[in-house]
Every structure is written in C-alpha cells, then in structure tokens.
Amino acid sequence: VKIGIVGGTGDIGEGMALRLSLFHTVLIGSREEEKAYASSEECIGILTERGVECALQGVDNQEAVDASEIVILAIPYKHLVGTLQSLSGFENKIVISPVNPIERSDHFYHAPPPEGSAALLIRKMLPESAKICAAFNNIAANRWRALDDPLNYSVAVCGDDTAAKRTVMDLASEVINLKPFDAGPLAAASMVEGITPVLLNVAKFNKMRDVGIQFI
Ligand SMILES: NC(=O)c1ccc[n+]([C@@H]2O[C@H](COP(=O)([O-])OP(=O)(O)OC[C@H]3O[C@@H](n4cnc5c(N)ncnc54)[C@H](OP(=O)(O)O)[C@@H]3O)[C@@H](O)[C@H]2O)c1
C-alpha cells in the first residue's frame, strides 16, 4: 500500500514514516519538496544504518495525496483548514487524522471546532467518498522515533466506513506491539482526541514523558 503523509516532515509524520516504511511505500509530504526530500533522506539514513530495508520518498503534499491510497494528515490543528483548502484529490482515499485540537493555559485542554472534533471538521471539508478515520491521536512522536523500543500502546480507531477502519487497524497491527481497537464511528473521535490533553497533563503534573494508553 502507498501511504502519503501530509506534513510528513514534522514530529509525528517522520516518526510514523520511520515505522511504516518497513511495510509500505511511504511518501513524506511537505509544502516544500526539498524539505520532504531532506526528511526522507534522513529517515532512509537512520533505517539503512540499522540494516533495515525501507521504501521512502519525499514529495510535495499534493503528490503525497495523489500517489497514495492512504493519506495521513500529520499537520498541526491550527493549519488544518488552510492545508485542506490547498489540496485536492481526496476522492475515494482513506484519510487518517491523528490531529488533536489542543490548547494550553496552566494545563492542556481539548479545544474542538463547532463540528465537535478535528475528524468531523475534516469530514465536512473533504469529498463524500473520502473515508475518514481518526487514529494514532494518542501516541507521542518521540515514541514513534524510538526505534529500539516496541510501541506498547493501544490505538483507538474511529470511522464510519467499516472496510477503511479495518485497513487502518491492520496498518496499526503491523507496528510491533501496537494494538488497535475499534472505538466507534467518526462521531466518537472527539473523545479520542480528548484523551491526548489528559496524557499531556498527566505527563506535566507527574514529571513524566510521552505518556500513552493501553486498553486492557
Ligand atoms: N507530536 C506528537 O507527539 C503528536 C502525537 C499525536 C498526535 N499529534 C498530532 O499530529 C499532528 C502533527 O503534529 P506534529 O507535532 O507532528 O506537528 P509539527 O511537527 O509541528 O508540524 C508538522 C508539519 O506541519 C507542516 N506545517 C507547519 N506549519 C504549517 C502551515 N502553516 N501550513 C501547512 N503546514 C504546516 C510542516 O511541514 P512542512 O513545513 O514540511 O510543510 C510540519 O513539518 C497534530 O495535529 C498533532 O495534534 C502529534
């Protein structure tokens, strides 16, 4: 499967690219193709040094959408609308949103749009045939990048298209120790997004790092 990562040069994008490119062709997308190229070369270097074969390429964000069956929107919430307005071609694609609308005062809190969640905002903006799933919202980028460590976390996946949700859950299961769980329809994504500020507050107030979740 070809996976395109819009904003793939960022923390979560590169982290996911490092793990997913062992199993699939990953296109790291960026607003600037040169930046995407540099990012993909860096990831190839890291993986090659470890003796791991990978399939990675740097492209601009539009190419990451056009050339892929699965598109991950790895962009900060505040740039989500502008980015989606600048891109096209999402028809029939599986679109994964790890996007968390979070704000910060003396603590972190969920600050969703009127639609209820970033995932539902994406649903509203993209064509009807795009299959949106919220997933990977609750795993810290540092954990994706720590390639020596298995990812001992659960992944809550929300979506309205059963086959697309299955595909996303299968994708998650390929990564060592990640365990996907069906977390319901896209309407339930607000609660999955809302877990992340809880994790950030637990980390902050307990002097922990990269806190995650397991459903057991
Ligand atoms: N970081 C985490 O631990 C984590 C964990 C779970 C979920 N998430 C979610 O994943 C998403 C990405 O987080 P991140 O930490 O990876 O973000 P990030 O590193 O701050 O940014 C990701 C990418 O977004 C692009 N970008 C920056 N400004 C932009 C703009 N004005 N317009 C369009 N694109 C812009 C950049 O790519 P180019 O400059 O190459 O275009 C950047 O590399 C967020 O929604 C976050 O809530 C993050």
End-to-end Cα spacing for the chain: 30
pLDDT mean across residues, the chain: 98
Look at residue 83 in the predicted model and tell me its pLDDT. 98
Look at residue 12 in the predicted model and tell me its pLDDT. 98
Contact between residue 39 and residue 9 where contact means Cβ atoms under 8 Å apart: yes
Q: What distance in angstroms lies between residue 75's CA and the mean position of ligand 1's atoms? A: 4
Q: Which residues of 183-203 are buried (b: 16+ CB within 10 A; e: fewer)?
A: bbebebbbbbbbbbbbbbbeb
| Residue 201, token pair as written in the block | 């507050």
Residue 114 one-letter amino acid: P
Distances (CA, A) of 55 to 15, 22, 25, 204: 14, 7, 5, 36
Residue 151 one-letter amino acid: L
| Cα(61)–Cα(27) distance, integer angstroms | 9
pLDDT band at 2 (very low <50, low <70, confident <90, very high): very high
Decide: 12 in ligand 1 pocket, CB within 6 A.
Answer: yes
pLDDT digits (tens, 9 = 90+) for 118-128: 999 999 999 99
pLDDT digits (tens, 9 = 90+) for 70-111: 999 999 999 999 999 999 999 999 999 999 999 999 999 999
In the chain, the percentage of residues whose pLDDT exceeds 90 is 100
Q: What distance in angstroms lies between residue 97's CA and the mean position of ligand 1's atoms? A: 12
Q: What distance in angstroms lies between residue 98's CA and the mean position of ligand 1's atoms? A: 10
Q: Which of 197, 195, 201, 200 is nearest to 214 (CA)?
A: 195
Among 75, 84, 153, which is best to mutate for testing ligand 1, by the most ligand atoms less than 8 A from CB? 75
CA angle 182, 211, 149 (to 5 degrees): 85
Provide CB contacts within 8 A for 4, sequence distance 6+: 26, 27, 29, 59, 63, 64, 65, 66, 67, 68, 70, 71, 72
| Cα(47)–Cα(40) distance, integer angstroms | 11
Distances (CA, A) of 10 to 26, 55, 76, 110, 201: 14, 18, 9, 21, 22
Contact between residue 131 and residue 161 where contact means Cβ atoms under 8 Å apart: yes
